[in-house]
Amino acid sequence: MRELAERMSCEPSNTTFVVDKLEKQSLVERHPHPTDRRAKHLVLTAEGAALRTRFLALLAVDSRLSGLTSQEHRALHGLLEQAVTAP
């Protein structure tokens, strides 16, 4: 949850609130971390994965990014990730 909060650039309590709502909608599940009893892994349910696929498809419709190749998408994702995580 802490890692997700950092990636979302928000407070952990806000992340918990969002994950609680997603869990109530059966879109994610909390699974125990294999080595850290205090941590949880968030896992998309089948319903959550289907919704993610639909959202990604909607984002690609008439997008200026839809013409990018897979390699260009990965490069762009890497650059955006660097921009978000930069100090």
Where residue 61 sits, what CATH number does that domain have?
1.10.10.10
**Structural domain for 30, as ranges:** 2-85
| Digit-coded pLDDT (tens) for 28-73 | 999 998 898 888 888 999 999 999 999 888 877 777 777 888 899 8
| Distance, CA of 42 to CA of 28 (rounded, Å) | 6
How much is the pLDDT for 62?
76
pTM of the model as a whole: 0.63
Q: Dihedral, CA atoms, 8, 11, 16, 22, nearest 10 degrees?
A: -30
Residue 20, number of CB atoms within 10 A of its CB:
12
CA 43 to CA 46: how far, in whole Å? 10
Q: What is the domain count for the chain?
A: 1
Report the 10 Å Cβ neighbour count for 38: 7
What is the structure's pLDDT at 21? Answer: 93
